[in-house]
């Protein structure tokens, strides 16, 4: 999504960045397996929602990227038939174009709509959804407006314990777009621990990005203006303070505490 200076949307509009971030031959095995587990669990959520409301469901995909999730789902007839409408938003023009190519290639115009929109303006959609999804670690990419990429370490703000207002703004709006019995599904997020930090940073180094964060930080950031949060259950509860804790479910995507899915029910 787009913010100040060199923004995430600018990065995603960079062909080299797209190649590294979306190419399965480039990403690590940890990421590949998290992506696979995320898809399996997401399909379960789609089926569960369909059974609950007893009709085809509506979906909003925050950060649709190159349409990767649409591509996976549309080729499984039993799953695709459960979906009535699928809206995807992104603020990177390259992602919009790639997603629209996918729609044309698979003839999905009757069901899928791609919208160029900054996630901080979700309420502009003025629609309601049964499922709002944010997949492939995208939920952790919404960094604070005041984060100082160029001189990080000189600021006294402690991002380990301070809530990120950008994240809260986006997902509070998302919660307001849910139908009764609707759910937000953060498809995959990094779990905050030393081992995950090591694997997360190893991938960024593989991408030739220069890390600027410290041992204490609960996120990884680079000089190239990439920013990715790791989460604990407490951090999720703090961000979704407006939701009863009983409505928040955590699903581990592996046995080694690398990634988890978070489901927030209306």
pLDDT band at 266 (very low <50, low <70, confident <90, very high): very high
Distances (CA, A) of 152 to 10, 18, 104, 145: 20, 25, 43, 13
Give the chain's end-to-end CA distance (angstroms, integer): 25
Taking only the tens place, the pLDDT of each residue in 176-195 is: 999 999 999 999 999 999 99
pLDDT at 1: 32
Angle between helices 29-53 and 194-206 (to 10 degrees): 110
Distance of CA 147 to the CA centre of its chain: 19
pTM for the model: 0.90
For residues 206-226, give the mean pLDDT. Answer: 89
Element (H, E) at 237: helix 233-239
| Average pLDDT of the chain, as a whole number | 89
Considering only CA atoms, which of 71, 37, 86, 60 is closest in space to residue 188?
Answer: 37
Element (H, E) at 39: helix 29-53
**Contact yes or no for 60/27 (Cβ under 8 A):** no
Helix, strand, or coil here: 186? strand
Strand 57-62 and strand 129-134: the pairing is: parallel
Q: What are 264's strand-pairing partners?
A: 184, 248
pLDDT at 17 over 90: no
pLDDT at 9 over 70: no
Taking only the tens place, the pLDDT of each residue in 119-160 is: 999 999 999 999 999 999 999 999 988 888 888 866 555 555
Q: Picking from 44-58, 87-101, 161-175, which range would have the lowest pLDDT averaged per residue? A: 161-175
pLDDT band at 87 (very low <50, low <70, confident <90, very high): very high
Q: Measured between alpha carbons, how far is 189 from 171 in angstroms, rounded to an integer?
A: 14
Element (H, E) at 84: strand 83-90
Q: What are 220's strand-pairing partners?
A: 228
pLDDT at 160: 53
Q: Which two tokens stand for residue 100?
A: 């629209």
CB neighbour list of residue 9: distance below 8 Å, 6 or more residues apart: 1, 2, 90, 91, 92, 93
Q: Picking from 5-14, 97-106, 215-224, 233-242, which range would have the lowest pLDDT averaged per residue? A: 5-14
> What domains are defined for the chain?
8-265 (3.40.50.150)
pLDDT at 169 over 50: yes
Query: Which bin fits 181, alpha (ψ -120 to 50), beta or left (φ > 0)?
Result: left
Taking only the tens place, the pLDDT of each residue in 42-57 is: 999 999 999 999 999 9
pLDDT at 162: 61
Q: Measured between alpha carbons, how far is 26 from 48 in angstroms, rounded to an integer?
A: 33
């Amino acid at each position: 999504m787009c913010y100040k200076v060199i923004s995430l949307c600018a990065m995603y509009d960079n062909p080299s960045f797209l190649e590294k971030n979306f190419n399965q031959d480039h990403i690590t095995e940890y990421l590949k397996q998290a992506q696979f587990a995320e898809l399996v669990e997401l399909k379960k959520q789609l089926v569960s929602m369909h059974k609950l409301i007893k009709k085809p469901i509506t979906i909003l995909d925050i950060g649709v990227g190159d349409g990767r999730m649409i591509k996976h789902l549309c080729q499984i007839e039993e799953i695709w038939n459960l979906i009535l409408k699928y809206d995807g938003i992104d603020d990177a023009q390259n992602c919009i174009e790639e997603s629209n190519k996918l729609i044309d290639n698979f003839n999905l115009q009757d069901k899928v709509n791609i919208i160029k929109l900054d996630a901080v303006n979700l309420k502009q959609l003025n629609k309601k959804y049964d499922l709002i999804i944010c997949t492939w670690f995208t939920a952790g990419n919404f960094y604070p407006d005041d984060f100082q990429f160029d001189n990080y370490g000189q600021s006294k703000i402690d991002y380990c314990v301070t809530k990120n207002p950008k994240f809260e703004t986006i997902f509070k709006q998302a919660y307001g777009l849910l139908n009764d019995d609707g759910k937000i599904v953060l498809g995959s997020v990094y779990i905050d621990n030393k081992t995950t930090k090591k694997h997360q940073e190893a991938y960024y180094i593989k991408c030739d990005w220069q890390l600027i964060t410290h041992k204490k930080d609960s996120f990884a950031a680079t000089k190239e203006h990439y920013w990715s949060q790791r989460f604990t259950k407490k951090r999720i509860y703090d961000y979704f303070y407006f939701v009863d804790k009983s409505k928040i479910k955590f699903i581990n995507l592996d046995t080694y505490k690398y990634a988890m899915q978070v489901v927030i029910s209306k």
